[in-house]
Every structure is written in C-alpha cells, then in structure tokens.
Amino acid sequence: DDVPHLQSPEAGLCSGPGGTWRQEGASALGQEAIPTMRNEAKALQDQEDSLCPREEDTVLIQGGPRCPIHHYLLVRTPKVFNQAKNICKRCYGGNLVSIHNYRANHHILLHASKINQAQVWIGGFLKGWFLWKKFRWTDGSSWNFGYWAPGQPGNGKGSCVALCTKGGHWRCARCYNRLPFICSY
C-alpha cells in the first residue's frame, strides 16, 4: 500500500444484521462525526427556514381606504431579517414592507399589535460605512419617512429596522434576531 495513512471506506465498520454497516471503536461518534451532525442539523434548519409559511401562520392585511389594491401579509413565524426578506420575495413576489407616512404606519400597527410579539420586521436597513450610512428600504423606494422611538436610531444596536407593536415606533435591531415580519406585495 503506497499511502498507509488512508484506509478503505469499510475500515472500522462492521456488518450488522441485514447487511447494514455500523462504525466500531472509540471514534464511532468521535470528533470527526460531530461537525457532520452539526452541518446536517444546520442544513435541515436552513431548509426549514426557507420554506414558505403555512397559511395558518399568516394574516392578510388589506390595503387602507386610499390604497385598496395594496396588500400586506403578516407572517407570525419568526425569522432573521434576510430570511424574512427572501421569503417575501420568493413566496409572495414582494418585499418587506416599506412605510412612507404615518397613516400607513398606523394601519400596519393595528394588525401587528394583535400578535403576541413586541416587534416585527419592516423593510428598513442601514447601509454604508461610518459617516456615509443611510437607511434604505428593501424594495428600493425612497426613505422619506421615519417614526423612530425616543433615542433611536442613534442608540440602536443593529442595522435592521423593527416596528414596535406597542405604539408603532421603530427601533434598530440586530438583523439576526428572529422576529415575525410584514411583507408587501
């Protein structure tokens, strides 16, 4: 054997009942198996996170009287910001909601406040570096309105924007927080 450190795939495996293979010895669940199990668990979680929400996990919000053709969908299943953004795009052909006036903010708040969560993702995020940071909407529309909670956005810890379900003010939040979210389509 030219390469003594390599073993055949069957090395350390024993045939069990019915011809199944199992690993024997101290490394059966040794260090090399743990990362694989973690990777499989992460892949399973990623697959679950990318599924479209079930209908019973969503609440359809009709547009207000001035915009009856605009639809919003409140998704109760908490996701990190980028997962929420991707679900809005892939599952509903839309974006996380962008809010451009107090009336729209209040309309969305009326529905968001009915779920038992303190915050929901909306489509705002901070982009840029240092002095050149600006808030943007995921749908690319202009940032022409803000309804920030006292001390925000300056004291916020995070680059993504969440709407508080009590009062409707906005807060900066860490983008990896898992929150319900509102899609616009």
Query: pTM above the 0.85 mark?
Result: no
Successive 10-residue mean pLDDT values, the chain, 185 residues = 41 40 42 52 56 88 63 94 97 96 94 91 93 93 96 86 97 97 95
Distance of CA 45 to the CA centre of its chain: 12
Give the pLDDT score at 66.
59
Cβ within 8 Å of residue 164, ≥6 positions away: 118, 119, 149, 170, 171
Q: Label residues 105-122 b or e (16+ Cβ within 10 Å = b).
A: bebbbebbbeeeeebbbb
Give the pLDDT score at 85.
98
Give the pLDDT score at 64.
57
CATH number of 55-184: 3.10.100.10
> Domain limits of the chain?
13-49, 55-184
The total number of residues written for the chain in this structure: 185
Give the pLDDT score at 115.
87
Q: Label residues 160-171 b or e (16+ Cβ within 10 Å = b).
A: bbbbbbeebbbb
Give the span between the Cα atoms of 45 and 41, in whole angstroms.
6
